[in-house]
Structure 1
């Protein structure tokens, strides 16, 4: 049997860094499972081995979606391969404040920057004190420890809580120390 990674690679070899693929328009039947795991620390593995080329991970993350069944899939117009994700598919590695409108912009380890707001809110985590970010195509992103610390340092006190604001919304980071 041919390696599914080779098939996906052939289909997408000319994709480069163009506009995001129209994943919402693609609905191929399930091709099967592929031994790709995105670990909780953001590392991508294929058959237990770390991907060596970040360009491949960037490419695959552009065709990754989480569906209503809670499973993660690499999707092309003609194939759909299920993979495993231990926690979040992406990781926020930097956050900057847009000078013109004050929104927070998250840079993820793979994929486009995301404006934190109504469509992409920060959400409370059931497993830790650190929130996570709602991303595109049903994906989510954990916050790198350094990003979390910077958010806490720049947060404002509001009542008994520390909050940050972006996109006209407030996000509670936790109780204030005061």
Structure 2
């Protein structure tokens, strides 16, 4: 690894650690509120987080470990079609290529509801399978805070075989 690459890796690592500490301090507060404060000041018009079409998270063009993606997903919001990480003190823009969360598996519960598991290890429950939207090129659901999640390839075909075809 070159000195520049090593320095950049340390810099990104230090920034992620600081972001993680900030998010951890506010996570308990956020979960106690019924609605996230959308009026928190926007830090920058330039997104520093990106989520690609496979549901992989990036921070300043560097891959984000799943544990950090899971943490940041807990404060991910979609407002008027735009994605943000929102804490009580700040709002950060996020670029989303296709779906913010990619669902890789699901379990059916006793009352016709589903619990989906995402590629980053988060769980998302819906009360009824009628909440799942069958689109021409995808299957998606609206999860918490307005965020849209899409079914990954294997989950997509499993869902089609179980609920759509005879």
TM-score of Structure 1 vs Structure 2, range by shorter chain: 0.7 to 0.9
The separation in 2 between residues aligned to 1:6 and 1:34, in whole angstroms, is: 18
* Ranges in structure 1 where 5+ consecutive residues have no aligned partner: 156-161, 163-175
Is 1:95 equivalent to 2:103 in the alignment? no
Higher helix share: 2
Residue 125 of structure 2 is matched in structure 1 by 114
How far residue 152 of structure 1 moved from its aligned partner, in angstroms, is 2.0
Asked if the contact 1:23–1:63 (Cα under 8 Å) also holds between the matched residues in 2, the reply is no
Change over 3 Å in CA distance of 1:71–1:60 after alignment to 2: same
Change over 3 Å in CA distance of 1:64–1:132 after alignment to 2: same
Is 1:36 equivalent to 2:49 in the alignment? yes
Asked if the contact 1:92–1:143 (Cα under 8 Å) also holds between the matched residues in 2, the reply is yes
More displaced stretch, 143-152 vs 16-25: 16-25
Q: TM-score, normalised by structure 1?
A: 0.71
How far residue 143 of structure 1 moved from its aligned partner, in angstroms, is 0.4
Residue 76 of structure 2 is matched in structure 1 by 64
How far residue 17 of structure 1 moved from its aligned partner, in angstroms, is 8.6
Root-mean-square deviation (CA, aligned residues, Å) is 2.9
Q: Would you say how many aligned residue pairs link Structure 1 and Structure 2?
A: 150
The separation in 2 between residues aligned to 1:142 and 1:9, in whole angstroms, is: 26
* Ranges in structure 2 where 5+ consecutive residues have no aligned partner: 1-13
How far residue 6 of structure 1 moved from its aligned partner, in angstroms, is 5.6
